[in-house]
Amino acid sequence: MLKGAITALVTPMKDGMVDEERLRNLVDFQIKNGISALVPCGTTGEAATLSYEEHMRVIEIVVEQSNKRVPVIAGTGSNSTHETIYLTEFAKKVGCEAALVVTPYYNKPTQKGLYEHFKAIADAVDIPIVLYNVPGRTAVNMLPDTVIKLSKIKNIVAVKEASGSLDQVSEIIAGVSPDFDLLSGDDSLTIPMMALGAKGVISVASNIAPKEVSSMVDFWLNGDHEEARKLHLKLFPLFKGIFIETNPIPIKKALHLVGIIENDIRLPLVEMTPEGTEKLKKILKDLNILN
């Protein structure tokens, strides 16, 4: 379940509301093009601005539409342990195979606080838990020693590592057991992380290029490192281009440009600038994603 190219799904919107039809179409598009699993309601899914009802409905739709064709790893983390447990219980109830739980943002917990937060969630809900470390978003970095300690809890099974530090990745992989998985949280670092032992990526880029990102990761997992390297270099402009403005602004714009979703994003995020849009269009045209 926790290897390969896994898409951190955007949440399509129309007139300020969740666009259920296009969300279902996006799920089908991902599965048709070889994605290994789906993550609704993560950072890319604008989880921070979804209401409880929207958050749960998006998870439910993705579970329904995927229909067991691929695992669903629901984003259920928040800066409240109580709220995280509530959403994680819901994810288990509707049939998610795992939950992705981000480090609490804004609170700035200590390393002990992080440990107790994740332990409380794992103790409360019997579902595989994927830790999510993204200090650029949360203002707290979960250190390797904390990840290693948490990895000893039975149902904490993996970490999505988005610190951008290969040293940190090395320390984690060196310190955990072989059955604990590490996944890249940065598209541009997927192949470098896999060279260190990561099992794949929870990808933003695969929203728009699922077949290509899946092929890149599969090449590496199957031992064809040269083909994986070539695809990494080909896709590298896309990996960087989808972060020229705050995620998920560029990836939602890219999906709109190819006709998959409406051009709608929720405040406080706003539409991509004209300058950024032109840069993104060039990248998509160079990759033959946009004709």
Catalytically annotated residues: 132, 160
CA pair distance 96, 94, nearest whole angstrom: 6
Q: Which helix (H) or strand (E) holds 27?
A: helix 20-32
Which pair of tokens denotes residue 160?
Answer: 């999505």
**Rg (Cα) of the chain, in Å, rounded?**
18
Which pair of tokens denotes residue 99?
Answer: 């939950």
CA pair distance 177, 141, nearest whole angstrom: 21
Burial label, 275 (beta-carbon count in 10 A; 0-12, 13-18, 19+): exposed
Q: CA geometry: angle at 130 spanning 39 and 19, to 5°?
A: 20
Buried b (16+ CB within 10 A) or exposed e, 38-61: bbbbbbbbbbbebeeebbbbbbbb
Residue pair 213/235 in contact (Cβ under 8 Å)? The answer is yes
Residue pair 99/85 in contact (Cβ under 8 Å)? The answer is no
